[in-house]
Structure 1
């Protein structure tokens, strides 16, 4: 199947290339490639509500990975995990399983599958042109599991000069911890882009991100406790937030002529995560203390190959993509000698996760080009993943099982436009290797009663298939019994998003834009963990009806060189569990707010920015084990604030960015029962949400020749 997809793609590309000189050239507004012909990978704003983060906004706040920039977005929350260093997102109160993350319209493979629940700290932003955040039911064009929305990351594909060379260094504290050797965050990047000719372009980008961990109340890798002349195991060794070293390499070769464009991209990603045991094992040998600890290291390697061709034939725009990605995660358990400060021996070394993903997608638009009112988009999408995860396949039962999942879809979207009205009904036939065929549908509608007013509605399926973890997870030892369930059924339901937008232009220097959104998600048979059996065994089951109801508003004001943005979101979540005979199902609401102030000082070529986000109190019902009644558990509210100054020197060849993150010094947030699963209690605790107030300095040299 893999080779047949590749052959079909090659034949189609060859056919399109052979016809490239026979059709005329049209110009589109947004240009990412040579010749001003065609755009690529943009999400259609007529179909969906789309927010765009520009490269300038990314650069202005010194953002290095996707977590750095999404932290301040309305209706998006970041959930970090200090133990494994992962950060995942939720949108409209739905977890990362319901949000699809794409790079140039191609889903990313990860250790949890592909596209969904991605660790966003692994997505480097040095090569990014912009980020598009689309909200609402997007299953027709982007497949199952695109329930809450899609985040599409558009990479750079052109340069204005013959040669462009960029070198950057970024130094950042981690809370109050920093030195050049083993504390803080140290980032280096080198990018080279070259216009080989009028039609050929090549680029390469290398990035290194050395995060040395967050000690907080611990004392690092080589610490051991002393009491008089004795070594004691006081549990203070190691880190609160474990160290992680990342390397990323991107390379691209692109060709563009007339109405045919083609590019090939290669990406290599490497990550080393060190986990240092808080406990040590001191013992006396030959009159001296022998001090060791049992530590762990995870090394992830991901290779990504991608080819895309796009252009126009006889008024029909086409976009074809083919991608192969592979990821492995190697695990090592070893003995660390604290006196010698080095590895003594390895007790276990294995590959405990491996995944291969084949992806191909073709989209053809303007299929009804002779009609003045109608237009048709049609396409196909094929994904095939195979691999295993040691924990998710039965590591503790010594039964590593390789699994595979495939989707073979076709879709179409009809566009009807008449005066101020536009309708976009669409359907996708999803063919899943585990669950057979399912029809996914959606409808978008726009009405523009005036030039500066736009009303939009997006209604569609909230269809989601079980993830690899839901199906195959297996974690059983002396203290845990958590299992996946291969008999799960897909979730289904419906989502609504209605928005109204008004743009007021008072003069060339004064503009106001207001946006109001209403959203509702009704998800049936939602998958959650529940207690089964008599021994507190937990298993994934289709056990809940999950509803989300909310309203949000965003208001942007531009006056001369000032830009401000104020956003408010009020979201309620209702969950009814099938495993309980009676449980509360009323909506529990939370308030979130964002504010941004940006100012550009032209004379000094300097930009100032202040970003603020308020994350309101979260509530969730859980069963009290003493009274057997449902009560509310609460996670307290907290706020995040970032500020930065960005300045150019020497005709914009040299750029300096100075800033601070998490000015309110948030580290832990008090929590009770938010982590409860399946309606059963979790004890009151605190969640690690950050590593305190941090400062950064980024130096960038940009050479155009």
Structure 2
């Protein structure tokens, strides 16, 4: 394959330049217009245990979107959907509805609401400074639905020189499928940043990601089977994983002087998803078969405007943000002529999803700055969403009415520190347009018995209001009848997270960091989709849901070598309120991660190896024949990625080559894990990947 030739070329070039004497280069530090760059939009590391993924780690593994990099993280699972191309997150066994995803502390609007259940493949990482991951309920500072945790994506806000230009291309196989025309994954990116003056900075970033789909056992868009003089409708047309084309544009204008800072960001995202029907239509006409297929195309457009003002006023640190986002998805259903390989006619053309979101948040810290032991943070958060909701692979009723949903919150967090102890009690008054007022609370306590040891306990509300989809979703066609339920109650409960961290300096070249977490979530009135008879589905508050487990992560570094070993053992208990008797014992699953990284200074080369083991999952479902509850099982599987990253020509040219999914996972045997709890699910398998793939990324970096 051509990609193999590129990889061989990269290896040869790397070996040749590794043998040259290294050229002394004065590395340019980033220009920090706002003082401490690391503090901008960051999550408070005193309140929570924050895990950070750096831009270097992202770049080293050739990660283009958020799904690429989170797939190897402990306590996180990524579930792809080959039909609509979405990849969603779960943490501690809780779905993406319980994980809030932010960009610079602002929730992202999507086709399923805002902030939660985001399609991770829609979040481009080419202009990202770092990713912060926090586990556990964070409702006081980040609102309802931040139950399992928060993922905060921090964008770059500085440039290493007066002008910086970065251009890259990335070619990637999709399993064994690759060519320059209609197979593989083809990514291009261009970034230009400019320090206009000592106080003004601007940047622009454009990315194109062309995923050509995964055929596997299918034969693509223009295939039709012939059998003698007839047409064989063998169901092999199309793709196992549908093609998707994405375009992303980010721009920023920033000003900073003394204690006043401001930036405005604009983001445009465009996605085209093609769904090719596996079945074809044929009829004999004038001695020749007329062969057509009923296909669909979905085009999503998202515009995101964001302004933030932050700084210091009379010892008070303030941060004010305002964002307006709008997203639409257009659906086109058309008849495709396979013989002529062109669209014959448009059958349906409509906008089947539209959403507008206004968001504003203000935070004021150090309100008690004159007190030596006490401090106070206070703020507000306003969100207002209007529109209607849909999903990319379904046909929708024309009777969907436009709805709106709003939250109007105020919050405060008090900190008290004395000797080696610190306490952070907090409250948030959540005012929801559907559910009235609710007090969300939390308390975090830290104890440092020694300089290198930190003990932390975080206890708080696990409060979650129904999502836009839960309330207003409507999918009615010949095969489906799924409707939202506007009478749903919010979920409530309590979350416990205890952690112990120790840092050990062995000598000047090596150190160890150990972290142990114990967690427990107890959620009442959990919302699930249920069959209410006659193959009709809706959402109901039916379950008591509990999560119990522990995890440990251990980092060791020696000179230029780093390793991370992680282990997680998580149990889930679910009791259905609609059943008189059903099992509620904990079903446990084991997950493990390992990361090995090495930097070879003389050759300016970095090596990485990432491994994740996803243990067997179990869930109870009702056997249709015996009417008894039995365990359904999803088998265990492992993922491994490897990459080599090398600089050339005084770090102006960078080559990254690697392999993803080395163990070639495509499908995982499954019986009932995706079933609605308490209802029948046939034994099947889930599509988790498109097999082993190889990538080559070439990046040119110019500082002027």
- If the length of structure 2 is used for normalisation, what is the TM-score? 0.94
1:569 corresponding residue in structure 2 = 568
Per-residue Cα deviation, 1:388-436 (whole angstroms, up to 9, x for no partner):
13579x9755312000000000000000001110100000000000000
Q: Match for residue 312 of structure 2?
A: 312
Alignment partner of 1:514: what SS?
strand
Whether 2:422 is the aligned partner of 1:418: answer no
- Corresponding residue for residue 268 of structure 1: 268
**Could you tell me how far apart the structure 2 residues matched to 1:503 and 1:439 are?**
37
Aligned twin of 2:124: 124
Kept in 1, the 8 Å contact 2:209–2:245? The answer is: yes
1:352 and 2:352 correspond: yes
In structure 2, what is the equivalent of residue 216 of structure 1? Answer: 216
Query: 1:403 — aligned with what?
Result: 403
> Using the alignment, how far apart are the partners of 2:30 and 2:679 within structure 1?
53
User: Residues of 2 paired with 1:687 and 1:632: CA distance?
Assistant: 17
Write out per-residue CA displacement over residues 76-103 of structure 1, whole angstroms, 9 at most, x where no aligned residue: 0000000000000000110000000000
Give the conservation status (yes or no) of the 8 Å contact 1:254–1:264.
yes
Write the distance in 1 (CA, Å) between the matches of 2:324 and 2:236.
44
Residue in structure 1 matched with residue 662 of structure 2 by the alignment = 663
Equivalent pair of 2:311/2:317 in contact (CA under 8 Å): yes
Q: CA deviation at 1:36?
A: 1.8
Question: What pairs up with 1:181-580 in 2 under 5 angstroms?
Answer: 181-389=181-389, 397-533=397-533, 535-580=534-579
Report the counterpart of residue 626 of structure 1 in structure 2.
625
List structure 1 segments (4+ residues) > 4 angstroms apart after TM superposition.
30-33, 394-397
Deviations 1:499-528 (A, max 9, x none): 000000011211000000000000000001
Q: Which moved more, 1:286-295 or 1:309-318?
A: 286-295
Q: Which residue of 2 aligns with 1:113?
A: 113
Task: Give the match's secondary structure for 2:168.
Answer: strand
TM-score normalised per structure 1? 0.94
Deviation at 1:37, TM superposition (A): 5.5
- Secondary structure in 2 aligned to 1:36? coil
CA distance in 2, matches of 1:583, 1:300: 42
Would the aligned equivalents of 2:31 and 2:160 in 1 still touch at CA under 8 Å? Answer: no
Q: 1:343 to 1:398 in 2, by over 3 A?
A: same
Counterparts of 1:432 and 1:634, CA distance in 2: 38
Distance in 2 of aligned mates of 1:297 and 1:503: 53
Q: Is the 8 A contact 1:203 1:253 kept in 2?
A: yes
**Residue 593 (structure 2) aligns with:** 594
Stretches of structure 1 lacking an aligned partner (at least 5 in a row): 1-29
List per-residue Cα deviations over 1:455-497 (Å, max 9, x = no partner).
Answer: 0111100000001111112223333222211000000000000
Distance, in Å, in 1 between the alignment partners of 2:400 and 2:411 is: 36
Contact (CA 8 Å) 1:453, 1:501: kept in 2 or not?
A: yes
Query: Residue in 1 aligned with 2:167?
Result: 167
* Corresponding residue of 2:7: none
Residue 681 of structure 1: CA displacement?
A: 1.2
The aligned residue for residue 704 of structure 1 is 703
Q: Distance in 2 between matches of 1:466 and 1:102?
A: 19
Question: Cα deviations across residues 197-242 of structure 1 (Å, max 9, x unaligned)?
Answer: 0000000000000000000000000000011232211100000000
- C-alpha RMSD of matched pairs (Å): 1.3
Change (3 A) 1:416 1:172: same
Map 1:47-62 onto structure 2 (within 5 A): 47-62=47-62
For residues 214 and 186 of structure 1, the distance between their equivalents in structure 2, rounded to whole angstroms, comes to: 13
SS in 2 for 1:34: coil
Distance 2:380 2:505 in 1: 41
Shift of 1:137: 1.4
Retained in 1: the 8 A contact 2:113–2:389?
no
Following the alignment from structure 1 to structure 2, what is the Cα–Cα distance between the partners of residues 663 and 234?
A: 32
Quick check: 1:511–1:557 contact (8 Å CA) kept in 2? Answer: yes
Structure-1 separation of matches of 2:489 and 2:531: 18
Judge conservation of contact 1:232–1:282 (CA < 8 Å) in 2: no
Q: Aligned equivalents of 1:333 and 1:539: distance in 2?
A: 27
Q: Distance in 1 between matches of 2:610 and 2:574?
A: 33
Which residue number in structure 2 is paired with residue 20 of structure 1?
Answer: none
Deviation at 1:160, TM superposition (A): 1.9
| Matched-pair contact (CA < 8 Å) for 1:166–1:191 | yes
Distance 2:243 2:198 in 1: 45
SS in 2 for 1:604: coil
**Counterparts of 1:77 and 1:398, CA distance in 2:** 35
Matches within 5 A, 1:638-657: 638-657=637-656
Output the CA distance in 2 between the equivalents of 1:350 and 1:692: 35
More moved, 603-612 vs 279-288: 279-288
Deviations 1:245-275 (A, max 9, x none): 0000000000000010000000000000000
Aligned-partner Cα distance in 2 for 1:37–1:221: 52
Residue 26 of structure 1 corresponds to none
Secondary structure, counterpart of 2:602 in structure 1: helix
Query: Quick one: structure 1 residues 654 and 689, their matched pair in 2 at CA, closer, same or farther if it must change by over 3 Å?
Result: same
Asked whether the 8 Å contact 2:442–2:461 carries over to 1, the reply is: yes
In the alignment of these two chains, the number of paired residues is 674
Contact in 1 for aligned 2:413/2:427 (Cα 8 Å): yes
CA contact (8 A) 2:128 2:154 kept: yes
Question: How many Å apart are 1:45 and its aligned residue?
Answer: 1.1
Evaluate the alpha carbon distance shift between residue 320 and residue 396 of structure 1 in structure 2; reply closer, same or farther with a 3 A threshold. closer
Q: Is this contact kept in 2: 1:388–1:402, CA < 8 A?
A: yes
Does structure 2 conserve the Cα–Cα contact (< 8 Å) formed by 1:49 and 1:136? no
Give the 5 Å matches for 1:682-693: 682-693=681-692
1:207, 1:117 → 2: CA distance? 23
- Where does residue 22 of structure 2 map in the other structure? none
- Going from structure 1 to structure 2, the CA distance change for 1:397 and 1:299 (only over 3 Å counts) comes to closer
TM-fit CA distance, 1:678 = 3.6
Matched, 1:71 2:71: yes
Match of 2:17 in 1: none
Q: Deviations over 1:260-305 (max 9, x none)?
A: 0000000000000000000111122222121110000000000000
What is the aligned partner in structure 2 of residue 3 from structure 1? none
Equivalent-residue separation in structure 1 for 2:260 and 2:145 (angstroms): 32
